[in-house]
Structure 1
Amino acid sequence: SLTTSVDIARERCLPWSLYERKHDVAQRNTFRLLAALPAALDSASQLRLHFQPRVDLHDHRCVGVEALLRWQHPMIGPVVPSDFIPMAEKTALINRITAWVIDNGIAQAARWQQQGLDFNLALNVSAADLDRPGFAGLLRRGLDRHKLDPRRLEIEFTESAMIRHPDHLAEQLATIAALGVHIAIDDFGTGYSNFSYLKQLPASSLKIDQSFIRSLPDSRTDRTLVPAMIQLGHSLGQRVVAEGIESAEAYAQLRAWGCDEGQGYWIAKPMPAAALETWLETPWHEQHAAPVNLLAASLAAARV
């Protein structure tokens, strides 16, 4: 349709977009998903959270988990967030989705807190969430309701969120940080950060985007950029997290560069809460220790 083509052109920052029939099909599928979302939010079984561990690269401890939304549609099957979140962000449904993720994520983190498990929970938030005046209050009420220590919660937002209403963003983040909640800048390196503004944000962590990490073994450019990003994060007093670690080589190299934490499929894939608890009982690094230590020794020898 004309509207679809205009929207695509706008999203791609182009003055035009060629009409293709597949655009209509994709649009219809998206609208069907949006129409089904209210029922999914009311259901006790369709939406769920999976959790991907984040580990300290030096002592291999699990220091946090990132909550990732999953939707098991009764007719379609698994639906990935990228198929419905972008469109939901243009509607009031995003507020309900955000509230669901916050409430269920904090509730699970509170259960882990009661079990004596010592790691924090990271929740992804959008620019639209941070634009909402009452967003910090939503977090506070969730923390109070489930009696979760605020220091066990981390809010992740992308660089692109800084482009929209930067003054309001700084005010919102300051309010969130005042609760005791940690702030992390996600997907670092993919946006257009104003470094003078970056240093004013109350962020305690910087997460390097996976696109730089996955290509480390083969990209000389990324092997130059990543240590520079690590140094930048440390100069701002932030812990640096590498996303998308998919090999022992990347793990060992990041550790040698002084990167603090990491996550990725080589460490563990996202999993349900019960599976995560089982994973925590089995020291994952013992299975990976030999190749990492061998590579670390090789890297150390190369520096001599």
Structure 2
Amino acid sequence: MAVGLFIASLADGDHGTIRSRLQDAAVSARLSRAMRSGAIEVFYQPIFRVGDGALESVEALVRWRRPDGHYVSPASFVPAAERTGVIGRIDRFVLTRAVSAARELADAGRPVSISVNFSAVTLARPALEQSVRHLLETHDLDPRFLQVEITESALVDDLTTVVRHVEALRTLGVRIAIDDFGAGHASLNYLQHFPADVVKLDRTFLTTAADDGRSRRLLEGVVDMCARLHMAVVAEGVESTDQLALIREANVSLVQGFLLGRPGPLQELRASLDLPDRRPSQHDPST
């Protein structure tokens, strides 16, 4: 955010709003320093096929490492990054690391599709498709090994622009996923009009369906509808064997959650694939 605009925004608001904006600015400044120092990292969480338990893909997730080695919860900094626009830099960083990791795994003989999250800031970029194309070409990575995840909150500002950019990415060969499906009020509307290949069910589907027959039938109906639309379905947030049994009964094809795999650095993913560790020799210049 430009300094002049930020100062003007402070002048136009009550004390609570001003305090919130100052807190956001402080988080934004700390994030920028963390990116320069290498404290922002990318973890990878596996996504498995329910039928045979095989690894289907992984999701790239941003992590902020504190000086003491512990990690800051994304819930405590991602919203501020979105409000201040710093999320655009984070998206580019995660995307670059994810594409590099996908290339590395392919070179090691274990090609794996990697998903990245795009914010509203990134989806509004005029040259989004060109920059993604350039990154894929630079790493000589087949576009089918990249999947972009988009939440409902990223669609509310300018759906027309987002759809145009997403269609360009799909034409390029990148897969598109609707993330946190069911968490917002307009999910079915987006399912009807938004071009996507994958639907990731919000974890609330599981928590409600476990104890409520009506919610379970709703879950089964959504899965059936996605199948008719030729969309794969991922159940997020699976943390118990009972939840795993529930999604299996509902014919959900893919699963992601702490029960089967927690997010971890690339070397942990390589180890899980029986590949030798190969840490980067220098700091990524994309930051």
TM-score (norm 2): 0.84
After TM superposition, give the deviation of residue 94 of structure 1 in Å.
2.4
After TM superposition, give the deviation of residue 79 of structure 1 in Å.
1.6
Aligned to 1:126: 119
Matched, 1:73 2:66: yes
After TM superposition, give the deviation of residue 6 of structure 1 in Å.
4.2
After TM superposition, give the deviation of residue 244 of structure 1 in Å.
0.9
Aligned to 2:33: 39
Matched, 1:251 2:244: yes
| Change in CA separation of 1:4 and 1:114 when aligned onto 2, cut-off 3 Å | farther
Please point out which of 116, 119, 123 is paired with 2:109: 116
After TM superposition, give the deviation of residue 85 of structure 1 in Å.
2.0
The runs of at least 4 consecutive aligned structure 1 residues that moved more than 6 Å come to: none
Please point out which of 258, 266, 276 is paired with 1:273: 266
Please point out which of 175, 184, 193 is paired with 2:186: 193
| Change in CA separation of 1:181 and 1:99 when aligned onto 2, cut-off 3 Å | same
3-state DSSP class of the match of 2:84? coil
- Give the Cα–Cα distance (whole angstroms) in 2 for the partners of residues 107 and 176 of structure 1: 18
Aligned to 1:292: none
Please point out which of 43, 53, 67 is paired with 2:46: 53
- Give the Cα–Cα distance (whole angstroms) in 1 for the partners of residues 65 and 30 of structure 2: 12
| Change in CA separation of 1:28 and 1:147 when aligned onto 2, cut-off 3 Å | same
Identity of aligned residues (%): 31
Aligned to 1:178: 171
Which gives a bigger RCO, structure 1 or 2 (Cα 8 Å, sep 6+)? 2
Letter in structure 2 aligned against 1:37: L
- Give the Cα–Cα distance (whole angstroms) in 2 for the partners of residues 240 and 249 of structure 1: 18
TM-score (norm 1): 0.79
Matched, 1:5 2:16: yes
Please point out which of 129, 136, 143 is paired with 1:143: 136
Letter in structure 2 aligned against 1:135: L
Where structure 1 has 5 or more consecutive residues not aligned to the other structure, the ranges are 8-23, 283-304
- Give the Cα–Cα distance (whole angstroms) in 1 for the partners of residues 116 and 85 of structure 2: 19
Please point out which of 217, 222, 241 is paired with 2:234: 241
Aligned to 1:153: 146
Q: Is the 8 A contact 2:147 2:177 kept in 1?
A: yes
3-state DSSP class of the match of 1:117? coil
3-state DSSP class of the match of 1:270? coil
Q: Deviations over 1:20-51 (max 9, x none)?
A: xxxx5x766543332122222222x3111111
Matched, 1:229 2:222: yes
Q: Is the 8 A contact 1:199 1:236 kept in 2?
A: no
Q: Is the 8 A contact 2:39 2:64 kept in 1?
A: yes
After TM superposition, give the deviation of residue 135 of structure 1 in Å.
1.9
Where structure 2 has 5 or more consecutive residues not aligned to the other structure, the ranges are 1-9, 276-287
- Give the Cα–Cα distance (whole angstroms) in 1 for the partners of residues 190 and 179 of structure 2: 16
RMSD: 2.4
- Give the Cα–Cα distance (whole angstroms) in 2 for the partners of residues 183 and 76 of structure 1: 34
Q: Is the 8 A contact 2:24 2:83 kept in 1?
A: no
- Give the Cα–Cα distance (whole angstroms) in 2 for the partners of residues 4 and 62 of structure 1: 50
Q: Deviations over 1:198-240 (max 9, x none)?
A: 3343211011101212444333343222111111211211011
Q: Is the 8 A contact 1:214 1:246 kept in 2?
A: no
Q: Deviations over 1:148-193 (max 9, x none)?
A: 1110000000123332212111111101111100000010011233
Please point out which of 103, 112, 132 is paired with 2:96: 103
Aligned to 2:6: none
Q: Is the 8 A contact 1:214 1:245 kept in 2?
A: no
